[in-house]
Structure 1
Amino acid sequence: MTNQPFRSATIDLAAIRNNVGVVKKLVGETEVMAVVKANGYGHGAVEVARAALEAGATWLGVADVDEALALRSAGLQAPILAWLHDPTASFDAAVRNGIDVGVSSVAQLEAVAVAADALNRAGRVHIKVDTGLGRNGAEPSAWRAVFERAAELQGEGRLEVVGLFSHLSNANDDEDRAQLQQFDEAVDLAASVGVVPPIIHLAATAATFRLPETRLSMVRLGIGMYGLSPFDDVTSAELGLIPAMRLEGRVIAVKRVPADSAVSYGYTYRTAGASTLALVGLGYADGIPRLGSNRAPVLINGQRYRVSGRIAMDQFVADVHDGEVAVGDQVVLFGDPAAGHPAVEEWAEAAETINYEVVTRIGQRFKRRYTS
């Protein structure tokens, strides 16, 4: 047996740096925001943020203020934007710690201003507008009111409008270009009432690669930073990206069984002949998608097998047939296909989801190890 942890997610920080570098080269002088929300898409927010900044990213992006505060507590002083908030949120901690706040309404502008008044310092905001995604962001009918109030608060020295942004649907290039046109209208309207922020941002990973006109003054690099493709028709390797996470477990039991032996709950799998079953101590409590049952690949001793039977809360089985497998052997669920590992996308296809979800849901029972 090895000293490998029972559950292991190995994160290659050199891959993170490579992926940021690829985008930096692509966008030139445009700034890059490294999006590390949701614990860095499951990879570890603090470690990924440090690697991204080393590689030339100049901003960090998170969903909420608590995530931003965790980065500040770790000593990261780069600009951070947090854009999703509880309706009754107080922004005192954000203003105190120099965290930029994404706002979508007059009410949120006022809440940031109240926090700024209490701390006697201007709050930093990015105004988000909805250009057709239908999620957070001020709707077009509210744009003028939001911009005018932002201009007033900025004139009073209570706020600094640092940015204006939106998010694309990635439905198709024509739809995204239509959103860009609407976003341009929002930028023009804001300027007409005196709001001319230094940073205008719209593109996430997909548009950064496919629609250069959307790069503007900053791009938000999310899934691409982790070495995964946002496209169904282009692989990460074709984009020059390297998958950063390798997910591993260990064989914890091996048994030889006769033909027609049933495996796991519901007996959804039976062996075709006399076979060896390898038990792996990973399950849906660890974030392994149960929909991968009987479909998802694993790599054991350099050989590919499939999950056999239903994935349980803490374990699953792989029928290795007549393969040589022993207790303690390494099991790779996914990693870098260039190294011979199954791709994250294979698990996503098996679980009828997307690569974003597969990596983001990886739980805290996994020991995250970092290599560089």
Structure 2
Amino acid sequence: MSFPARAVVDLSVIASNVRSLRAHAPTAQLMAVVKADAYGHGLVPSARAAVAGGATWLGTAQMDEAIALRDAGVTAPRVLTWLYAPGAPIARAIEADVDVSVSSAPALDEVVAAARLVGRTARVHLKVDTGLGRNGLTPDGLADLLPAALRAQAEGAVALVGIWSHLAFADEPDHATVRAQHDVFADAVRLAEAAGAAIEVRHIANSAATLTSPQVHYDLVRPGIAVYGLSPVPQLGGPGDYGLVPAMTLEAELATVKRVPAGHGVSYAHQYVTPHETRLGVVPLGYADGIPRHASGSRERSGGPIRVGDRTLGVAGRVCMDQVVVDLGPDATEQAGDRVELFGTGADGGPTAQDWAVAAGTISYEIVTRLSGSVPREYVGVEVLAGSAGGAAAATGAAAVTGGAR
């Protein structure tokens, strides 16, 4: 493939991050959340790496991704899927041994019908809205749903194996809502168990709560962004403070380098004008590839950071659809074809996804997940897959993946 940029994903780092996260929650099982193409890192290779690191569960929002894991031969851990609309392939998920979340009475009806259709018990996790105001049963809704759910369980159509929720302020561990949601969740668990549900796993902790709120670890924690080495609480600490390392490096080759005079406008609307004679380099990545346009640079504000050699420079001018410009300086020696890094581990002082998040006024989650599928994913550290589901074949397959990862 001739695409002049790539996202290099270190699978051994993902495995190591999972091991670190397990140490933060030693009394709980760990679900590695691999939704959204594993936060842009590649669904199947990342899932296998997480399992190699000790993940006992995998989680996807969309049902198709959960089924894709099973179709790819990822059979060792339990898989939970939780976000679907009427008409979703629930029967296919049940046949694939995927746990299914239920957030409403109509969803329960569909799951029961699908289980009857395929003649297999559906493993169900009841989703409770404890205060986020998003998907899930209200506490009253849970009380109303339980009789029907327990009848379906007695029939053998479902097994009520989990109860779970999402925190609204997990990235602020001292926020009053964390305790309040904890209390609502505990009441919901007691209600379900008193009614006769044999709950195996209670879970509410995301990445932030896994790292900072041990009181809500319960039976299972569900880290997502932390699996890929990014801090969910950058205001409290960076990845290294929690034993994490970013797994993805986004790099490119300079497409062109040219000298321009002082006062030369750069990119659309000339937000940036060269202050002196200089050399400009074109980086062949733009907003169509996932580079945030909000990270454009101007005369007053440096744009998103780019590592060139041992220097960190900023995007000069507006981010375009398929390219950005960087002011290399009058004495620059870089040439077309030289490597630049948009973000990586930061170990050498280079930029990180968090730095891009700051430049764009967003969060690191968005920086990595918005990276387009047109940008090839290249995998290193594939040796960790040798002992995971799929064995040596999985490692060989991951090593061969270089594009179209989504």
TM-score by length of 1: 0.97
State the SS of the aligned residue for 1:336. coil
1:230-269 aligned at under 5 Å gives the runs 230-233=232-235, 234-269=237-272
CA distance in 1, matches of 2:147, 2:197: 8
Structure 1 residue 149: Cα displacement: 1.5
Note the 1:183-202 alignment, pairs <5 A. 183-202=185-204
Picking from 70, 78, 83, the partner of 2:68 is 70
Choose the corresponding residue for 2:329, options 296, 299, 321: 321
Of residues 202, 205, 208, the one that matches 1:206 is: 208
Contact residue 203 and residue 214 of structure 1 kept, 8 A: yes
Given that 1:90 and 1:111 are in contact with CA atoms closer than 8 Å, whether structure 2 keeps it comes out as no
2:134 alignment counterpart: 135
Misfit runs of 4+, over 2 Å: 87-90, 171-174
Residues 289-311 of structure 1, C-alpha deviation per residue, up to 9 Å, x if partnerless? 01111111101122111100101
For the Cα contact (< 8 Å) 1:309–1:317, is it kept in 2? yes
The one-letter amino acid of 1:269's match is Y
CA shift digits 1:76-110 (9 cap, x unpaired): 01211110001333411111111111111121111
1:182 aligns with 2:181: no
Amino acid at match of 1:340: G
Unaligned runs of 5+ in 1: none
**Counterpart in the other structure of 1:360:** 369
Partner residue in 2 for 1:25: 23
User: Take 1:242 and 1:267, find their aligned partners in 2: how far apart are those partners?
Assistant: 37
Distance in 2 (alpha carbons) for counterparts of 1:318 and 1:212: 44
Which residue is equivalent to 1:93?
Answer: 92
| Match of residue 274 from structure 2 | 271
From 24, 27, 46, give the equivalent of 2:44: 46
| Number of residues of Structure 1 aligned to a counterpart in Structure 2 | 370
- One-letter code of the match for 1:313? M
| CA deviation profile, 1:237-290 (whole Å, cap 9, x unmatched) | 111100000001110011100000000101100000000000111000000001
Q: Per-residue deviation at 1:5? A: 5.2
Using the TM superposition, give the Cα deviation of residue 168 of structure 1 relative to its aligned residue in structure 2, in angstroms. 0.5
How far, CA to CA, are the matches of 1:109 and 1:62 in structure 2? 19
Instruction: Please say if residues 63 and 89 of structure 2, whose CA atoms lie closer than 8 Å, have aligned partners that are also in contact.
Output: no
| Inter-partner Cα distance in structure 1 for 2:180 and 2:363 | 25
Q: Percent identity of the aligned residues?
A: 44
Runs of at least 5 residues in structure 2 that lack an aligned partner in the other structure = 298-302, 382-406
Q: Which residue identity lines up with residue 252 of structure 2 in the other structure? A: G
Measured at CA, do residues 111 and 209 of structure 1 come closer, stay the same or move farther in structure 2, by a change above 3 Å? Answer: same
Shift of 1:195: 1.1
TM-score (norm 2): 0.89
What SS does the aligned partner of 2:291 have?
coil
Show the counterpart of 1:312. 320
Moved more, 83-92 or 70-79: 83-92
Residue identity matched to 2:319: I
Contact 1:253 1:278 in 2 (8 A): yes
Taking a change above 3 Å as real, the CA distance of residues 215 and 315 of structure 1, as seen in their structure-2 partners, is same
Q: CA RMSD in A?
A: 1.3
How big is each residue's C-alpha offset from its partner over 1:204-263, in whole Å with a ceiling of 9 and x where there is no partner? Answer: 110111110100000001011000001132111111100000001110011100000000
Which SS does the other structure have where 1:246 is aligned? Answer: strand
